[in-house]
Structure 1
Amino acid sequence: MDLSCFKAYDLRGRVPDQLNPILAEKIGRAYVAITGAKKIIVGYDIRLSSPEITEALSSGLMAAGADVFDIGLCGTEQVYFATSHYNMDGGIMVTASHNPKDHNGMKMVGPESRPISSDNGLNDIRDRVLEPFADAPEQGRYETLEVMSAYIDHLLGYVDGASLKPMTIVCNAGNGGAGLVIDEIEQHLPFEFVKLHHQPDGHFPNGVPNPIVPENRKVTADAVIEHGAAMGIAWDGDYDRCFFFDENGRFIEGYYIVGLLADQFLRKTGSGKVIHDPRLIWNTLDLVKAAGGEAIESKTGHAFIKQRMRDEDAVYGGEMSAHHYFRDFAYCDSGMIPWLLIAERLCQSGQTLSSLIDARIEAYPASGEINRTINDPPKVIAAIEAKYTVGAKSVSFVDGLSVEFDNWRFNLRMSNTEPVIRLNVESRGDIPLMEEKTKELLAEMERLNIQ
């Protein structure tokens, strides 16, 4: 049996050769065998294969004696929400996020929506799939569970409704599931939504929803300008990531959103810890300190960030890849809470999104993440380390190589899945310096790659 769909954090693969109903049924049985879960939330995304895979998964869970609570078509964060909100033993979301349309997968959590990844059970589930199964003495029950209303109530609890004012927001669901939530939540808000690619459609008539790909952004940017909107929002298919455009249609680098959300959250709490990834940090450190919080660095990746948030009881965590985590959301990531907080900030401050962001770009200009395919990534990173750590102010290995000087810093890290090195460079208020050092590092990486 091909088990290549099991990855480090979740399952993803092509349907039907890497993931199909037969395998999904076995995964359900193995999940119960390994976790011992008795009550499990199950939900699925808009992909055409999702209902069939979900049905087979549920059959396996019930054959192993677990009760299945089916929340239907939803986003990944609704499985997180329902699992913790209803005190379930676990949850499984059938989704392949932004993978091609002929793919599918699963994201798994345990009690309190704690992630199940390769270092805490996912590999055990994979190995258990290969062994024989016997039916439980008593088959589990199946029931549907309506969670949208409780979920919407929870989302609205993050903002001060009285401070919200009418404004126009462009939202692009990418024919994923986010439109269903917008339709529900707009009744409670004074905003006018311009809806693009709004209907859930697993055929993906406008391409796979992944706003991180530059060519996917134009339609949102154009609509913001056309409608004079205060901002634009775009989501991936299972809407656990959201991306922002200012009132001029400019796409905003995720790094600056982390700082803005940390600041907005700390204004509410007055203090607290904020978790961030090590790729770009100075803007976040500055804003968190100014707002009375404490910034804590964590290795990149949702399993690491979520664990660190629990360890520190952090109020918020953010990654520049557009994943944002919230303590009151079971320390999980949400693609809906961020835009609500930013809309609230625009209403309260009377400022435009561009003015809020421009000041931060000016203070800490950044290269954004640049990927380069490299033949021998460890060799190249070791050579960069040897050259650049001489005379550096500090060197860190929390995630890859981070080297800091007085006025600029960089982070260089390897991809977990491909022979790619990812580079991020930032400076203190000096765009030419940031650009010069970015060019210099890329040239050095190219030279080392040819050797």
Structure 2
Amino acid sequence: MDFKCFKAYDIRGRVPDQLNAEMAERIGKAYVAVTGARKVVVGYDIRLSSPQIADALNQGLMAAGADVYSIGLCGTEQIYFATSHFQLDGGIMVTASHNPKDYNGMKMVGPGARPISSDNGLTDIRDGAQDDLPDAADPGTLKSLDVTGPYVEHLLGYVDRTSLKPLRIVVNAGNGGAGEVIDALEPHLPFEFYKVHHKPDGTFPNGVPNPLLKENRSATSMAVLASDAAMGIAWDGDYDRCFFFDEKGRFIEGYYIVGLLADQFLRKSGGGKVIHDPRLVWNTRELVSSARGVAVESKTGHAFIKQRMREEDAVYGGEMSAHHYFRDFAYCDSGMIPWLLVAERLCQSGQTLSSLIDARIEAFPASGEINRTVDDPSVVLEAIEGIYLRDAMSVNHIDGLSMEFEHWRFNLRMSNTEPVIRLNVESRGDQTLMEERTEALLRQIEQLSEPIPGHREAVTL
């Protein structure tokens, strides 16, 4: 069998040639052999192949001696919640998130919902799945576990419900699983939900749920305008990420949501540490400092963010890619907690979402992430550092190359899986400067990726 479906942080592959029932059963047996887990929660997303793969996974887990606690159709964050809340030994979510509909995969955690990735067990599980592992003398059993009640109660604990006021909110589940959670929350909230692509449907009749794709945003944007809503929210398939639209139907870059949530959370907690990724930082740092918090930079990626949050006991962590992490949620990411906090802020402040965000965009205009394919990313990063080193006020390599100057900064990092570099640029209140610096960097990257012998010196600031 082809075990290339094992990635750095999870399992993802086409069904059935890269991931199928036989492989899922082997993975279940290997998971128990490697982790020693005896109580494992399993759930799955709305993909048509998910129930079959989950059933085979359960068979493998039980054959290896583990009791399986099945929660059925759910989101990834419910696996995190159940593992932690019920103090189970581990959890596995069958999902391929926003990948095409013929894909599926798994996300795995251990005790306390700690992520299992290639550096702490996933590689061993892959190797074990290739062996013919023996069955346990005493097989495990299959039990049903209802997490909806405790999960909804936990979500509602993040907001002061007495401060909430009637709001009209557009919610776009993308035919993923988020709609069922909205339905469970609805009786407890004073909000009127305008529901778009609400019913779970693994055929993805309206396209794969990935709001990062610009072509997938119009349905939410138009619904906000049509319904005169206070904001719009869209999720990916397993709803561990959420994306925001203001009352004008405008898509809000995740960077500014990180700052807004950090500020809101620190107001509640009276201070604490906030973890953020290094791509865009100035807005987050300023808001965190103003709210008596401490901003801590971490390498991009959920495994790194979660580990750093535990080390720092941070109250909140955020990535501009729309992953938001919470200490009281086992340091894990949730796509439901963020929108509740933003809604609470709108109710308490009486401001519109656009007014809250516009002030931050004006203070720190940003390019958004720009990707470029290059021949040798490491050579380009080294050359760019050399070009700008003399004028830089600070340089760090926490994740790729970050260089700061008096009025602007940039982060340039390599993809882990393809010959691509990712650029983010921001400035201090100067949209024109940000755009000029972005264009200059892109021009330099283009020249460096297609070098002409003897003409490297032609690359200029």
TM-score (norm 2): 0.98
Q: Name the residue aligned to 1:194.
A: 194
1:450 positional shift: 1.4
Q: Name the residue aligned to 1:371.
A: 371
Amino acid at match of 1:164: L
| 1:67-115 alpha-carbon deviations (Å, 9 max, x no partner) | 0000000000000000000000000000000000000000000000000
Within 2, Cα distance between the matches of 1:389 and 1:103?
A: 44
SS at match of 1:390: helix
SS at match of 1:267: helix
Q: Name the residue aligned to 1:396.
A: 396
SS at match of 1:225: helix
Within 2, Cα distance between the matches of 1:276 and 1:288?
A: 10
1:177 positional shift: 0.1
Within 2, Cα distance between the matches of 1:386 and 1:16?
A: 47
Q: Name the residue aligned to 1:224.
A: 224
Within 2, Cα distance between the matches of 1:441 and 1:424?
A: 10
Moved over 4 A (4+): none
1:156 positional shift: 0.1
Within 2, Cα distance between the matches of 1:399 and 1:145?
A: 40
| 1:247-275 alpha-carbon deviations (Å, 9 max, x no partner) | 00000000000000000000000010000
Q: Name the residue aligned to 1:114.
A: 114
Aligned-pair identity in percent equals: 75
Q: Name the residue aligned to 1:261.
A: 261
Q: Name the residue aligned to 1:317.
A: 317
Within 2, Cα distance between the matches of 1:87 and 1:19?
A: 29
Q: Name the residue aligned to 2:127.
A: 127
Within 1, Cα distance between the matches of 2:433 and 2:149?
A: 50
Q: Name the residue aligned to 1:238.
A: 238
Q: How many residues align?
A: 451
SS at match of 1:171: strand
What root-mean-square deviation, in Å, do the aligned CA atoms of Structure 1 and Structure 2 show?
Answer: 0.4
Amino acid at match of 2:138: E
Q: Name the residue aligned to 1:333.
A: 333
Within 1, Cα distance between the matches of 2:373 and 2:201?
A: 34
1:132 positional shift: 1.9
SS at match of 1:389: helix
Amino acid at match of 2:47: R
1:188 positional shift: 0.3
Within 1, Cα distance between the matches of 2:216 and 2:430?
A: 30
Amino acid at match of 1:208: V
Within 2, Cα distance between the matches of 1:241 and 1:417?
A: 21
| 1:119-138 alpha-carbon deviations (Å, 9 max, x no partner) | 00000100111122111010
Within 1, Cα distance between the matches of 2:133 and 2:268?
A: 51
Within 2, Cα distance between the matches of 1:336 and 1:418?
A: 31
SS at match of 1:104: strand
SS at match of 1:55: helix
1:391 positional shift: 1.9
Q: Name the residue aligned to 1:5.
A: 5
Matched, 1:50 2:47: no
The answer to which of 377-386 and 209-218 deviates more is: 377-386
Within 2, Cα distance between the matches of 1:134 and 1:320?
A: 44
| 1:321-373 alpha-carbon deviations (Å, 9 max, x no partner) | 00000000000000000000000000000000000000000000000000111
1:309 positional shift: 0.2
Q: Name the residue aligned to 2:458.
A: none
| 1:282-321 alpha-carbon deviations (Å, 9 max, x no partner) | 0000000000000000000000000000000000000000
SS at match of 1:285: helix
Within 1, Cα distance between the matches of 2:202 and 2:56?
A: 19
Within 1, Cα distance between the matches of 2:157 and 2:418?
A: 40
Q: Name the residue aligned to 1:67.
A: 67
Within 2, Cα distance between the matches of 1:389 and 1:57?
A: 52
1:389 positional shift: 1.4
Amino acid at match of 1:101: K
| 1:30-58 alpha-carbon deviations (Å, 9 max, x no partner) | 00000000000000000000000000000
Q: Name the residue aligned to 1:443.
A: 443
Within 1, Cα distance between the matches of 2:298 and 2:379?
A: 24
SS at match of 2:224: helix
SS at match of 2:24: helix
Matched, 1:90 2:96: no
SS at match of 1:239: coil
Within 2, Cα distance between the matches of 1:291 and 1:109?
A: 33
Within 2, Cα distance between the matches of 1:279 and 1:397?
A: 11
Q: Name the residue aligned to 1:15.
A: 15
Within 2, Cα distance between the matches of 1:169 and 1:154?
A: 21
Within 2, Cα distance between the matches of 1:228 and 1:437?
A: 37
1:411 positional shift: 0.1
SS at match of 1:274: strand
| 1:417-439 alpha-carbon deviations (Å, 9 max, x no partner) | 11110000000000000000000
SS at match of 2:263: helix
1:230 positional shift: 0.2
Matched, 1:166 2:160: no
Amino acid at match of 2:352: T
TM-score (norm 1): 1.00
